[in-house]
Structure 1
Amino acid sequence: MSTGFVEDSGGTVLGVVLASTMWGLSSVFMKVALPGMPPFGVAFARVLLSGLVLAPAAVLRARGKPAPEIPVSGGRERTHLAVLALTTVALPFCLTAWAQQHVEASLSAVLHATVPLWTLGFAVLMLGQRPGGRQLGAVAVGLLGVAVLAGLGSHGLTGCSWGGCLAVLAASACYGFGWTYMRRNLSHRQPLYIAAVIQVGAILVLAPLAAATTDTGHVELTPVRIASLLALGVISTAGAELLNYRNVARLGPTTAALTAYLIPVVGISAGIFILDEPLTARLLIGAAIVLGSVGLAVQRHQERQPSVN
């Protein structure tokens, strides 16, 4: 073990824990804000606030950099960025916000931990990667964990709960597709530049959708809900993105990817202690199964996996 790593071990732990906390709290912030604003309005507020942070950060980073890092895009690249704006921001943000009306924040956080499994599947389809027996087994175990979390066979599970679970899983699949698509088509671009551009693109997509579905007469933004929206966009989205890029640069992608394991822990803890959600045996068992499957899936390909958003 290098001396540099030993000296930076404190920063390693702090950076990973902070990023996990920022992302893990996003479900709680959405849950608090949703009673005062419809889901598409929450999604738009989230992307608007994060774009106001990430866009200036990308411009500042581009100053004094070589030409390839300056945001000048051709037609094909603009198409790729538009696809990413839809699949990694606009669509998953809307799906997650809608789902939070029907599932608990702790369950949502655990279901989002399936992103590496979706990424693995899309890597096989889009990049021609061949999964080993360990990875195939991980997917099967992950599906079992999702079934446990969703309450397969439970008489108390409502149709809305199933819809919420499926919406969170669909959002996770969007991230898996988008990250694989980005690796295939935009690997030459800086991640911060991509994040800033697609956030701005998502603003253009979500603005008319939010306007069409939001009745201003029924918007009830209390100080607590406004604070939750600000925290969702600035801290849990933009702040987590910026900190994750710093973690990847300083610690490497393997260490930075530890956030994927900690996000469910943060989400469950916050749901219990902040929102007073119940801690059930089903949640604990399902979370353990899902995290175990993720560990199996990324063991060989962890260097190529991005962190969960």
Structure 2
Amino acid sequence: MDYLPFEEPIKSLYESYESCRLEGEQKGVDTRAKCIAIEDKILAKKKQIYSKLTPWQRVQLSRHPNRPYALDFIYGLTKNTFIELHGDRNFADDKAMVGGFGKIDEQTFMFIGQQKGKNTKQRQYRRFGMSNPEGYRKAMRLMKLAEKFGKPIVTFIDTPGAYPGLEAEERGQGQAIAQSIYEMMKLSVPVICIVIGEGASGGALGIGIGNRVYMLENTWYSVISPESCSSILWRSWDYKETAAEVLKLTPQDMKKQGIIDGIIPEPLGGAHYDYYETFDNVKKVIKKEFLNLQKLSPEKLAEERQSKFLDFGIFKG
């Protein structure tokens, strides 16, 4: 298990617990009472730390290397019924954007998500979850395919932003994201969007136009990352914690501002502590919202989605 800087007290307790357990095994003595006492301390310390996380600490948790990514969620929810589809039918198959059909219980969904990597090789292969234009065009193709067959869509948002390379701009990065937003507005099937990690800038919004938008408890959603905001305003990354505070990017801030519809709870300590509990929490939300949305007509689904996003913000003449 990897530990973040603010989790050092928990790391020390886990090391003490492991020493206690090994002592009992190697010396043949009864250390159960001692180990249980340490477990109680671990639980108390975790409750103390995670009950008052700062916005920057939530940003750090959203990037935890052990955190589940889009394909983890998809395979965990669909129980081996997922069939991945590839390519934008124009240029290439973007490995940072994944998608395909899969079933939750007996209902088929189109799942689309931004996929990061679990090690250096995978991260390079997936470009750290930063999509090229062909990634958004693949997402659009899959959404239109789902619409053709009347299947609901679920998107998993987890990206530090769209890929900023020169070749991406040459192939129309801005236009691809704008077109994706436009097409999602018009979809006649239910669309549920869930932020499972980082939700940065247009890279996130490109697959974030849903009838319902949710965030996991330890994620963030903003027009810019704290580091980039700090470098622009203060010419240094040293103020990233301040930037995270003023950007109001946490799920609690987003819910208060009416940007999202709800917050999905995570296990104590974060989603990486218990994948199955996290998947179960997400599954409950998807099933509940789908049951509500399937009652609406295709026309009403598109109309509701458009009104939802057009009503954001305050305008003064």
TM-score range, shorter chain: under 0.3
In terms of fraction of residues, the more helix-rich structure is 1
The answer to which structure has the higher strand fraction is 2
Q: Which has the higher contact order (CA 8 A, sep 6+)?
A: 1
